[in-house]
């Protein structure tokens, strides 16, 4: 690209003010090695063709076909395996499993390509407690509240924020905050505390993980009908700093700004994790983030995982389910399964499941945000002013979310490391954001990353050795107002005979806990269909 094109792309990726500031200081001066990785766009886009690819010939027969090897599909396989069911196969489009919990290993330490932590679960979240116990990540008497191994809890310093030219501890922009800002923060915290204490007539919390354990009381469900922005206004929270702090949360988990996030989803972020409690929340992480969970689940599945397999057609029948599966190596293969667990997002399910494909408006109100995730391989820590490097490092006025340091848990605070940089595109129209992201080349994406980071690290170009980028066109479902407790989401989880659905978007929240819950529930439905009660 010429310099004018680079400047135009910066404006599209970072916004005009930040792009202008970056251009004043000069565009990045050297080409950074790296590539765009992940996402089998060409293979996946076969589904966009007008002709549905239907397999012919003698079928390959299996007991259970699990379509998708993200956390939901792998959790379904794990659940079946632990219940003694082994006649399954897991079919995955990509060349590596994990979905948005995928991870890389090409650096000095493993690193995430997406989700990078899970909160320590409550004992009610039995599936996650069982998985983490199996991984020997928990300790103590599991009849009480679970406790994570100390070395897996995010160590301090865990968070820092760059604002007004220097780094400060924590994520709330307290440095320079006015009395009015702090009063609004107290108002917001009081609401979080109030909803954290809430119990309905059945003793259920307003917000719990997984969300199926949450209350469905009318006053709780009503929160979904308004935006987070309107909720804050109604409660007198007008401070720009407080709103930035809350919006950082909605951008981080949902890829949405306050105006387009359900107030229910915003409160869920804080209350379901105990962030309103006196002791706060504890988070479990590994250098590769939730990739460690994926690694364990893949080891359970073993050779029954088949990669680079594109399912193009699924036809539920009375006594079986037929699938057409395309592989670049073998072409189309016809599968016949006793049951199918479809662990794919709704927008893909609407294309591959024949009854849904033939149904008008099958996608309903589901929408998905675009994200860019980049991994920066650095030779050392760059220059910075103020508070020391933390696990999570955020720049106040950035459209991105900052970066997470993969070596933080290894206690290696000096020398080479890998930084995982997250940039959600919070456009009201996700299609436009997707088109903008997919149109950008590696050099343009790297320009945007370096221009953003060098405000906090002026010598960032001198320490970066490589930047690889993963473009997530449909990264996560968006909990917009009315979606969580709306009809579309409720209908989407209903099985079609022997076809069962499992994906985090069935919860409306792109979280590992939700993905695991949906996978386990689908596996249990398969067991019951086979005449067995899960234990």
Distance set, CA 436 to CA 5, 431, 447 (Å): 14, 9, 15
pLDDT for position 270: 96
Domain containing 331 — which CATH number?
Answer: 3.50.50.60
The pLDDT of 97-101, averaged and rounded, is 96
432 shares a domain with 421: yes
CA separation for the pair 271, 88 (Å, rounded) = 37
User: Both 374 and 468 in a single domain?
Assistant: yes
Q: Tokens 């589904």 map to which residue?
A: 47
Is 203 a member of any domain? Answer: yes
Higher per-residue pLDDT: 531 or 41: 531
Domain boundary among 227, 262, 281: 281
CATH of the domain at 221: 1.10.405.10
Residues 464 and 498 in one domain: no
Higher-confidence residue of 26 and 422: namely: 422
Six token digits for residue 460: 């960032």
Is 140 within the bounds of a domain?
no
- 404 plus 417 within the same structural domain: yes
Q: Looking at the 3D structure of the chain, how many domains does it have? A: 3
pLDDT confidence bin for 255, thresholds 50/70/90: very high
**Strand 392-395 versus strand 464-477 pairing type:** unpaired
Domain that includes residue 399, residue range: 3-30+368-477
Q: How many whole angstroms separate alpha carbon 141 and alpha carbon 138?
A: 9
Asked whether residue 361 falls in the same domain as residue 490, the answer is yes
Q: Are residues 491 and 467 in the same domain?
A: no
Indicate whether 429 and 466 sit together in one domain: yes
| C-alpha span between 308 and 297 (Å, rounded) | 18
- Give pLDDT tens digits for 7-47: 888 888 989 888 888 777 888 888 999 999 986 555 555 55
pTM beyond 0.85, yes or no:
yes
Give yes or no for a contact between 147 and 132, defined as CB atoms under 8 angstroms apart. no
Same domain, yes or no, for 229 and 258? yes
């Amino acid at each position: 690209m010429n310099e004018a094109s680079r400047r135009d792309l910066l404006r599209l990726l970072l916004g005009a003010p930040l792009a202008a500031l970056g251009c004043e200081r000069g565009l990045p001066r050297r080409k950074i090695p790296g590539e765009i990785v992940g996402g089998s766009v060409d293979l996946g886009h076969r589904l966009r063709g007008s002709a549905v690819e239907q397999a012919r010939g003698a079928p390959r027969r299996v007991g259970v076909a699990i379509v998708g090897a993200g956390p939901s599909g792998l959790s379904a396989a794990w659940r079946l395996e632990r219940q003694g069911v082994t006649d399954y196969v897991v079919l995955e489009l990509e060349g590596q499993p994990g979905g948005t919990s995928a991870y890389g290993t090409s650096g000095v330490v493993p690193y995430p390509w997406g989700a990078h932590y899970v909160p320590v679960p409550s004992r009610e979240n039995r599936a996650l407690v069982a998985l983490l116990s199996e991984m020997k990540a928990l300790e103590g008497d599991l009849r009480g509240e679970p406790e994570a191994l100390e070395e897996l809890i995010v160590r301090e310093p865990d968070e820092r924020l760059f604002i007004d030219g220097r780094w400060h501890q924590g994520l709330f922009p307290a440095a320079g905050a006015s009395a009015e800002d702090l009063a609004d923060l107290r108002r917001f915290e009081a609401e979080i505390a109030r909803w954290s204490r809430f119990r309905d007539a059945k003793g259920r919390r307003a917000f719990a993980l997984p969300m199926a354990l949450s209350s469905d009381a009318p006053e709780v469900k009503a929160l979904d009908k308004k935006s987070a922005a309107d909720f804050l206004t109604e409660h007198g929270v007008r401070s720009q700093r407080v709103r930035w702090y809350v919006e950082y949360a909605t951008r981080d988990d949902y890829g949405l700004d306050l105006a387009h996030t359900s107030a229910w989803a915003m409160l869920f972020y804080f209350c379901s994790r105990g962030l309103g409690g006196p002791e706060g929340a504890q988070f479990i992480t590994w250098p590769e983030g939730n990739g460690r969970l994926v690694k364990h689940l893949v080891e359970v599945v073993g050779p029954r995982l088949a990669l680079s397999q594109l399912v193009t057609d699924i036809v539920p029948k009375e006594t079986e389910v037929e699938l057409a599966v395309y592989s670049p190596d073998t072409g189309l293969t016809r599968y016949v399964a006793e049951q199918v667990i479809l662990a794919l997002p709704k927008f893909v399910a609407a294309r591959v499941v024949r009854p849904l494909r033939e149904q008008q408006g099958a996608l309903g109100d589901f929408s998905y945000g675009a994200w860019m995730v980049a991994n920066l391989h650095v030779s050392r820590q760059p220059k910075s002013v103020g508070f020391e490097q933390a696990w999570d490092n955020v720049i106040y006025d950035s459209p991105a979310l900052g970066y997470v340091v993969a070596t933080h848990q290894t206690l290696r605070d000096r020398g080479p490391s890998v930084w995982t940089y997250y940039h959600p595109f919070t456009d009201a129209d996700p299609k436009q954001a997707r088109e903008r992201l997919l149109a950008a080349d590696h050099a343009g994406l790297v320009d945007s990353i370096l221009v953003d980071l060098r405000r906090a690290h002026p010598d960032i170009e001198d320490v970066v050795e490589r930047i690889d980028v993963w473009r997530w066109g449909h990264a996560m479902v968006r909990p917009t107002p009315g979606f969580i407790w709306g009809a579309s989401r409720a209908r989407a989880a209903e099985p079609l005979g022997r076809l069962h659905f499992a994906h985090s978007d069935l919860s409306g929240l792109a979280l590992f806990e939700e993905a695991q819950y949906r996978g386990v529930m689908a596996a249990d439905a398969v067991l019951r269909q086979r005449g067995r009660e899960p234990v």
